[in-house]
Structure 1
Amino acid sequence: MDDAIIRRHLSVGRLTILEVLHDEPGIDEDQLLAEWIRRRPPASQAHARRLPRTIAQLLWQLRNLEWVDDTEGELTITALGEYVREFARLHSPSPFASRTSTVGGHSA
């Protein structure tokens, strides 16, 4: 996967999941949700209600991109996912500066 494709698919939400899985390998979806909320508290109750579905959708996308692996419910970041995470850290001064920002100037 080349850097242009990474830029096209990388978003703050996807990067948040990669960061969590880098720090907490082997967690399940419920633990991921709890850690997401700790790191990025929901802006409203409506957002909090939608968050489990949002995370499930992001995980589906990350699995298809082969950035995340799910083995028997244990989520881990892949070697490609680690590369993407490092790529984002090197090419984005502050990917978490805005809840609506994207990484690399592209939305996903």
Structure 2
Amino acid sequence: MDDALIKWHLSAVRMLVLDIIARQPGVALEAIVAEWIAQQPAMSPRHRAAMPRMTGEILWRLENLGWVEKRHGLFRLTDLGARARTVAHLDR
């Protein structure tokens, strides 16, 4: 996947999840959800309740892009996921 295609697939939400995983390699879904909620203290209770489902959907997409892999219930970045973060941070 070249940089142009990476940029096309990047979104702020995907970057947030990639950044959480990069800081905590081998992280469980629940920890990703907790960190995301911690970063958004004004989130409504209804939004908080939907976070596990929403995070699961984002992780599924990141896995299909080849940016994240799941082993034994834990998520980590792939080399391509690390490249996606680099491309995103260069654009900031």
State the TM-score, normalized to the length of structure 2.
0.92
Aligned length, in residue pairs: 92
**Corresponding residue SS for 1:81:** helix
Give the deviation of 1:40 after TM superposition: 2.9
More helix by share: 2
Aligned Cα root-mean-square deviation (Å)? 1.2
**Corresponding residue SS for 1:75:** strand
**Corresponding residue SS for 1:88:** helix
**2:40 and 2:66 mapped to 1: Cα distance?**
24
**Corresponding residue SS for 2:69:** strand
Map of 2:13 onto structure 1: 13
Map of 2:53 onto structure 1: 53
Give the deviation of 1:74 after TM superposition: 1.2
**1:42 and 1:10 mapped to 2: Cα distance?**
24
**2:42 and 2:69 mapped to 1: Cα distance?**
26
State the TM-score, normalized to the length of structure 1.
0.79
**Corresponding residue SS for 2:34:** helix
Alignment of 1:78-93 (within 5 A): 78-92=78-92
Paired amino acid for 2:52: P
**Corresponding residue SS for 1:16:** helix
Map of 1:27 onto structure 2: 27
Q: Is the 8 A contact 1:42 1:48 kept in 2?
A: no
Identity %: 38
Q: Is the 8 A contact 1:70 1:76 kept in 2?
A: yes
**2:22 and 2:75 mapped to 1: Cα distance?**
10
Give the deviation of 1:42 after TM superposition: 5.2
List runs of 5+ in structure 2 lacking aligned partners.
Answer: none
